[in-house]
Amino acid sequence: MKRLEALFAILFVAITPLPPTETHAAGEPEQQRRFAAERARLVDAIRNYGRPIGESANPGVLAAMRAVPRHLFVPTDQRAEAYQDYPLPIGEGQTISQPSLIALMTHLLRPKKGEVMLEVGTGSGYQAAILSRLVGRVYSIEIVEPLARQAAATLTRLGYANIAVRHGDGYAGWPEHAPFDGIIVTAGAPHVPKPLLDQLKPGGRMVIPVGPSHSTQRLMLITKDARGKTVERFVIAVRFVPLTRKIRS
């Protein structure tokens, strides 16, 4: 595992930081314009993502959704559907969540410039890319090695220099870089992992689906006050792939 982590570190350190935009990716200008237009239509369609919690959309979240090329984070045969508001398969039995849910979960973190975030469940790397435009640094853990490698390669190719990806058990968090201003979990956990609570900074926020595998779960917002006391709040019912602890290579 250490050799793999070293490889990912090299991937992210070796690139020159560039403003992450679709223009760093291969593709004809006309195709890029078409995808940009589809992205803009998607953002218009989901701009009321905060309605379930009675809040207006965060302009920064919408701007990030408008900028990040979702079609480059899904398999080629799924690109025609990349800007529809529903989840898509990304291989290895995993999915990329629907954009409106990604927007809501990002919003719940209240991301700010300079903050450090932890993501459990890198998947394709899309959620990390969204977050990276809003905070200072994102640490992301993926338990499925092929997905971790692919996400690291995609993020590097697109110029996201403030994201580090690691292959490993997300339940344990990433203590070397804790505490975190925010933690986002993109898989359904049977309970809230204590290591993640321990790694959440006082004043921090965690967004996590909690509930049984392959069934409806409760999306929870957990806040920690200055004394370390946590408060849980139910947000909406969701359905995510399960958070597992068996590292897959």
Give the residue numbers annotated as catalytic, written as ranges: 97
Which residues have a Cβ under 8 Å from the Cβ of 10 and sit 6 or more positions away?
none
**H helical segments located in the chain:** 2-13, 29-45, 59-67, 99-108, 126-132, 145-157, 194-199
Buried b (16+ CB within 10 A) or exposed e, 1-18: eeebeeebeebbeeeeee
Quote the distance between the C-alpha of residue 117 and its chain's center.
10
Q: Cα torsion for 99, 100, 102, 107, to the nearest 10°? A: 140
Strand pairing category for 180-185 and 230-238: unpaired
**H helical segments located in 109-144:** 126-132
Q: Any idea what the Cα angle at residue 60 is, between residues 22 and 55, rounded to 5°?
A: 135
Q: Cα torsion for 96, 233, 130, 160, to the nearest 10°? A: -100
Burial class (CB in 10 A: 0-12, 13-18, 19+), 201: middle
Instruction: Please state, in angstroms and rounded to a whole number, the distance separating the CA atoms of residues 118 and 186.
Output: 11
